[in-house]
Amino acid sequence: MTARVTGKRWRDQAAVAVVAAVLGVLVVIQLRTQQADPGLSALSAQDLTVLIANLNTRNGQLREEVATLSRELSTLSASQARGQSSVDQIRRDLAKVRAWSGLDPVAGRGVRILVSGPIDGPGVEELLNELRNAGAEAISVGGVRLVAGTVVAGSTGSIGVETTLLADPFEVVAIGSPEVLTGSLTRAGGVISLLAATHPQVHVVVTPADGLQVPATIRSLAPSHGAPRL
């Protein structure tokens, strides 16, 4: 009986020892893990305050970015709904450039100028320069569009523009404000008054008009020596 009790006690003690050993191993492992990766527990109260402040600041920045992106998305959606896009704007700008450079025809309000009598090239150039200075946006002489480099030259009776000889009479069409163009041409001391003094047999009649048309140039406007600088 005594031997049996002693054996049971020994087994109980051995089991307790094994459990204690296992618990000891687990405690050591946990302590080493905490020492290797202390995490937030190793930070001081001041460090934790700074960390929280940085997180709040970053969260605020992210919220602002989200709000900005939301506004941009709303703007793009509204522009798309109205049919307004960057491509459409570029096409409109290109159309304006082509029209005013002379590559495309132009229509609008302006003046018709009928010139008759013995006038020479310099006299016609004075008339055209006055139109340019008055803000004419497009000009044609005898049906020929004036562009950069176009010169009306020749003596009386043989005036030419590009490869076209001007008849007598010939017509000048200018697109622009009819009031401004007419006032500039017919003012006292203006170009028509000067032409009357230097070319007494020349008659110039200015008529404001709507729905005028100026054709496109027949010249190639591509430069021979220059290149666009991007």
Amino acid at 54: N
> Could you tell me what percent of the chain has a pLDDT over 70?
78
Q: Which amino acid is at 142?
A: G
Q: According to the model, what pLDDT value does residue 5 have?
A: 45
Q: What is the pLDDT of residue 99?
A: 86
Q: 109 with 183: CB under 8 angstroms? A: no
Could you confirm whether domain 106-214 is CATH 3.30.70.1880?
yes
The angle formed by the CA atoms of residues 98, 103 and 108, to the nearest 5 degrees, is 75
Enumerate residues 6+ apart whose C-beta is below 8 A from 185: 111, 113, 127, 130, 131, 134, 191, 192, 204, 206
pLDDT over 60 at 158, yes or no: yes
pLDDT at 63 > cutoff 80: yes
Lowest mean pLDDT among 59-68, 192-201, 208-217, 220-229: 220-229
β 170-175/106-116 pair status: antiparallel
Cis status of the peptide bond prior to 208, with omega within 30 of 0: no
* C-beta of residue 220 within 8 angstroms of C-beta of residue 180: no
List the chain domain ranges: 106-214
pLDDT at 31 over 80: no
- Whole-number Å distance between alpha carbons of 44 and 52: 12
Q: Tokens standing for 193?
A: 């008054």
Q: Is the pTM of this model over 0.75?
A: no
Question: Cα–Cα distance between 98 and 79 in angstroms, integer?
Answer: 26
Rounded Cα–Cα distance for residues 211 and 107 (Å):
6
Structure tokens given for 223: 């430069």
Q: For residue 212, give the nearest of 147, 148, 139, 161 by alpha carbon.
A: 139
Edge to edge, the sheet with strand 164-165 lists 152-153, 160-161, 164-165
Q: Angle between the 178-186 and 121-133 helix axes, to the nearest 10 degrees?
A: 130
Contact 111, 209 (CB under 8 A): yes
